[in-house]
Amino acid sequence: MANTTPLTLHLLALGLLASVTSASLAQGPSFGIKGGLNLSNLYSTEVDENNMRAGFNVGVFGRTNIETPIGLQVELLYSTKGNTTNYSAFNGLIDQEVDFALNYLELPLMASLRLADGEFELQAGGYVGYLLGSSVSTSGDLGSSSDELSKDKFNSMDVGLVGGAVFNAGALQIGARYAYGLSPIADSNEADFLLGDAKNSCVQVFVGFALTN
């Protein structure tokens, strides 16, 4: 058998190292950006679909290799919630709309059950949110106004459950989920008088794009 020179051994070693590194990177976690639509509401015993408020979510995400059957996805999002209420008085002669907005920095963490070689995912987990601000605006027959509300009147933390489904097409991720809040929003007598034990409820539709593989 012919002798293998040191140069040949070095080249083989470098080639093997490059192959292993490339495979590791291909199978590693990915990170990206995402954003979408929020359809939020408040609930106590049940959700009134007529009071749904349109908002948005935007942020970043990280996920484990989508080719594995079980994985994790974690996100950091700016997410707007709240609800919209329409008031009518004097047999419809006066109509007024009140928009109640809550803005959160949220951290969802979900386990993923991946099907069809990672093209489809079922996700479930929880989230924790920190209240960044709140406001109320009105419009209608009685005029329009907009005011910032003191955060001290509301719970600074929101904790809840989240679940949904995701479709993956390469770097593109399209999904929908439902977030079910467990923490009462009110944290003062004034807020409790208006909201009682109401909690957040939110449907999210989103699109994400992985920047790394």
Phi, psi of 45 (to 5 degrees): -95, -30
What is the CA 92 to chain-centroid distance, rounded? 38
Highest mean pLDDT among 91-100, 103-112, 138-147: 103-112
pLDDT at 170: 87
pLDDT at 61: 97
Give 20's contacts (C-beta < 8 A, 6+ positions apart).
Answer: none
175 backbone φψ class: left, alpha, beta (φ>0; ψ -120 to 50): beta
The Cα angle at residue 96 between residues 93 and 99, in degrees rounded to 5:
165
Highest mean pLDDT among 40-44, 55-59, 98-102, 114-118: 55-59
Residues 12-36: tens digit of each pLDDT: 545 544 443 343 334 578 999 999 9
The Cα 42–Cα 81 span in angstroms is 9
Residues 171-205: tens digit of each pLDDT: 999 999 999 999 999 999 888 888 889 999 999 99
pLDDT at residue 103 tops 60: yes
**pLDDT over 90 percentage in the chain:** 60
- How would residue 96 be classed by pLDDT, with cut points 50, 70 and 90? confident
pLDDT at 187: 92
The Cα 54–Cα 70 span in angstroms is 32
pLDDT at 16: 45
pLDDT at 21: 39
**Which amino acid does the sequence have at 55?**
G
Residues 113-163: tens digit of each pLDDT: 999 888 999 999 999 999 999 998 888 767 777 888 898 999 999 999 999
The tokens describing 78, both together, are 């700016």
pLDDT at residue 99 tops 50: yes
CB 181 within 8 Å of CB 201: yes
Give 175's contacts (C-beta < 8 A, 6+ positions apart).
Answer: 121, 123, 164, 165, 166, 167, 205, 206, 208
pLDDT at 91: 67
Domains of the chain from N-terminus onward:
29-210 (2.40.160.20)
- How would residue 110 be classed by pLDDT, with cut points 50, 70 and 90? very high
Q: Report in angstroms the alpha-carbon separations of 6 from 55, 87, 176, 182.
A: 64, 84, 56, 65
SS3 195: helix
The Cα 158–Cα 89 span in angstroms is 34
